[in-house]
Amino acid sequence: MSAATGWTVASTQAALRAKKVSAREIATEFYAKIERRNPGINAYLTLSRERAFAQADRVDVATACGEKLGPLAGVPIAVKDVISTAGVRTTCGSKILETYVPPYTATAVARLEKAGAVILGKTNCDEFAMGSSNENSAYGPVRNPVAMDRVPGGSSGGSAAAVAAGLAVAALGTDTGGSIRQPGACCGVPAMMPTYGRVSRYGLIAFASSLDRIGPLAANVADTAAIMSVIAGHDENDATSAAVPSPDYTMEIEQSIQGLRVGVPEEYFGDGIDSQVKEKVLAGIALLEKLGCRRVSLKMPHTEYAIATYYIIATAEASSNLARYDGVRYGLRVPGATLIDMYRNTRERGFGAEVKRRLMLGTYALSSGYYDAYYLRAQKVRALIARDFSEAFQKVDAIVTPTAPTPAFQLGEKTSDPLQMYLADIYTVTGSLAGIPGISVPCGTTKEKLPVGLQILGPHFSEARVLQLARAFEKAGGFVI
């Protein structure tokens, strides 16, 4: 239930089918609220009113004609601004794409719209999804609607804030090292990273191609499942998209979790974890036990190497992917006397500090003489981290951990220390490296009323089970434990 608006996927479907409200009225209500609250929160960078109302009208005509409505008919959804939308500006939170209007739409967005969803606009994020606080956006930080002096997490901070503030029923985010789950935890909303290959990346503007995934943030687990059901599945336009059938998750989530073995890795509760976060997550695990799960203690010895591994692989891939921003084909161009000068001037002016830092790191890790010591070694350690998980999943059905070591931090608190900022992803990068699915669900709040996130990870393509655990946890009051 979205406390902020009262609208959920289920309630919009019921109201529209009973003709108590039109899709246009729902969209109008959301835009009015966005106008009031977005100037303070800065969750949206671009509103797509024309596209939204055209879609709402299509839904209303279909309702009037008695046609069958799609599963997300009239549901207002926000889309992170790294996901392409034909005709709607897509900036990636960067000056280098300030005026970029994609000529095509991402598969995930196209599937949402085919299901009847109304795309309200594009949400703020760290530049090219690089960050854990949303402070790396060229268009200003997002404020956490739960505590306005705090960050919403990142990089999908705008998507998480939009859902938490009731400025959308749900949102699409992207997760490379925690960028869906960590902002979900910071803002107190469920947030899911699907298995690598489960949701098409076609139209997702690349940061680190072996890690990037699109997934939903929503007000409750049922809505998360409803969106997953629509966006998951094979897409011939993404060669890494998996040809694995995806179920209707909505039909699966109420299944019993009785007897499931839940692994708790000790490495996720060591140095650096906030004591209140630890206390809440342990209470969450106890609740799962009470619901019939069997707790199994785990050792995952390579966990401590995950951040180092991640920041080599992600930056190396980014240095390659972001080579395309050179002022030639799209986006910003800053003139120069020669072609190389034009490239360099454009990139100097167009990229922000964190993007440059990561391009430097990634280029260094791939450069001649360092490749074996950094990139190749990181790929080997990545295999060890993935093996920790595959061995763990011989013994358990799912793994439960904190999503982030601390609740949302103050704006500006970590901006001068990149390494400290990177450590905000310490519990999320592991699942990213292993390619497995995970969800962050709210798990109570600290004394300061800041949300805590509990992360549930499962084997590849086990989204249904991860959602079942999340749903049982929600139903038993885990979100407000």
Return the residue of 11, 276, 379, 446 that touches another protein, per CB under 8 A: 379
81 neighbors 47 (Cβ within 8 angstroms): no
C-beta of 304 vs 448, nearer to another protein? 304
Catalytic residues: 80, 155, 179
95 touching another protein, by CB under 8 A: no
Which residue number, 206 or 383, has a Cβ lying nearer to another protein? Answer: 383
Q: Is 194 in the site for another protein (CB under 8 A)?
A: no
CA distance 167 to 318: 31
Give whichever of 5 and 319 is closer to another protein, judged by the CB atom.
Answer: 319
Q: How far is the CB of 270 from another protein (least distance, A)?
A: 15
Chain residues 406-425 in contact with another protein, contact rule CB under 8 A? 418-419, 422
Q: How far apart are CA 463 and CA 198, in angstroms?
A: 9
Q: Per rule CB under 8 A, is residue 207 in the interface with another protein?
A: no
Each as own residue / partner, the long-range contacts of residues 361-367 (CB below 8 Å, 24 or more positions apart, any chain) are: 361/311, 361/312, 361/315, 361/319, 362/312, 362/314, 362/315, 362/316, 362/317, 362/318, 362/319, 362/320, 363/319, 365/312, 365/315, 365/316, 366/316, 366/319, 366/320
Binding characters for another protein, 228-257, by CB under 8 A (x = yes): ------x-x--xx-xxx-------------
- Size of residue set near another protein by CB under 8 A: 87
Q: Which residue has the tokens 């959920």?
A: 8
How many angstroms from the chain centroid is the CA of residue 436? 14
Residue with Cβ nearer another protein (201 or 280): 201
Of the candidates 451, 439, 30, the one whose C-alpha atom is nearest the C-alpha of residue 221 is 439
CA 115 to chain centre: 21
Q: Which is nearer to another protein, 275 or 338 (CB)?
A: 338
Q: Single out the residue of 283, 330, 413, 476 in contact with another protein (rule: CB under 8 A).
A: 330
Query: Any contact of residue 71 with another protein (CB under 8 A)?
Result: no
Q: Which of 115, 222, 232, 436 binds another protein (CB under 8 A)?
A: 436
Q: Tell me if 276 sits within 8 A of 284, measured CB to CB.
A: no
Binder of another protein out of 20, 68, 290, 329 (CB under 8 A): 329
- DSSP state, 424? G
What is the rounded CA–CA span in Å between residue 146 and residue 407?
11
* Site for another protein contains 278 (CB under 8 A): no
Nearer to another protein, 61 or 323 (CB): 323
Is there a contact between 251 and 285 (Cβ–Cβ < 8 Å)?
Answer: no
> Should residue 259 be labelled a site residue for another protein when binding is judged by CB under 8 A?
no
Q: Min. distance of Cβ 192 from another protein in angstroms?
A: 16
List the beta bridge partners of residue 422: none
The whole-angstrom separation of Cα 29 and Cα 340 is 50
Reference 130, options 334, 384, 2, 311; nearest CA is 311
89 binds another protein (CB under 8 A): no
- Residue 271 Cβ, how far from another protein at the closest point, in Å? 14
Binding another protein by CB under 8 A: which of 295, 344, 415, 476?
344
Among 39, 66, 103, 259, binds another protein (CB under 8 A): 103
470 scored as a contact of another protein (CB under 8 A):
no
Burial class for 356, CB neighbours closer than 10 Å (0-12, 13-18, 19+): middle
Residue whose tokens read 């998951």: 232
Which residues within the stretch 293-322 sit at the binding site for another protein (CB under 8 A)? 302, 304-305, 307-309, 311-312, 319
Least separation in angstroms between CB 85 and another protein: 14
